[in-house]
A and B are shown apart, each in its own frame.
Chain A
Amino acid sequence: GQQLNQSPQSMFIQEGEDVSMNCTSSSIFNTWLWYKQDPGEGPVLLIALYKAGELTSNGRLTAQFGITRKDSFLNISASIPSDVGIYFCAGHPGSQGNLIFGKGTKLSVKP
């Protein structure tokens, strides 16, 4: 089946540093979504990408839809303590209703 490889699995950074994480797939996706999940809560949508090459920002977050349509990255600039959480990429293959998720990147921020 289709799988998403998300890296890194975890990151420990200092407050103020920039963060970069990415997601790759073995097959083409028509949509890439990035979510953040806090412990015991549901994922919260951060950014949605719909076109190959698209670069979209949401405050300190920037995400890009890879030209090959098989990858995406998420950057967080000037990290703050509330950025702590697990970040998931998710892809929509287009032919089905469901989203396929990566295993997440756990972000820890030292004040």
Chain B
Amino acid sequence: DTGVSQDPRHKITKRGQNVTFRCDPISEHNRLYWYRQTLGQGPEFLTYFQNEAQLEKSRLLSDRFSAERPKGSFSTLEIQRTEQGDSAMYLCASSPPRRTLNTEAFFGQGTRLTVV
């Protein structure tokens, strides 16, 4: 079991550029989440997929952000026209199929985005 994998680990980009991050969840985990974490804060929810369906989106997810999970396996998070305020750690998490109310989420190591 390789755990949740995120790529890249670090990304430095110029303001206005587009960036895309990838997340590979734990195999057989049908639920996938994206969170954003800024310094000194806890992770904040961005969006949630169950299989390939995007079921929830936070108000934090502006029009410049788009997430996909086309085949219900890996997911991508794209940020268009990056702004300095987008600088943060972007975390991906996955959970196994929900049989009860149990909802353990396992996180990847994150992608640290710096917009200069």
Contact = CB atoms under 8 A, between A and B. Distances in A.
Contacts of B108: 42
Interface string A63-99: 0000000000000000000000000101010101111
B32 to A, nearest CB: 10
B42 A97 contact: no
Contacts of A101: 42-44
Interface string B18-51: 0000000000000101000000111111001010
Contacts of A96: 56
B110 A45 contact: no
B109 interface: yes
A44 B33 CA distance: 15
Contacts of A92: 101, 103
Interface of B: 4, 6, 31, 33, 40-45, 48, 50, 55-56, 58, 91, 93, 100-110, 112
Interface of A: 4, 6, 30-31, 33, 35, 40-45, 48, 50, 88, 90, 92, 94, 96-104
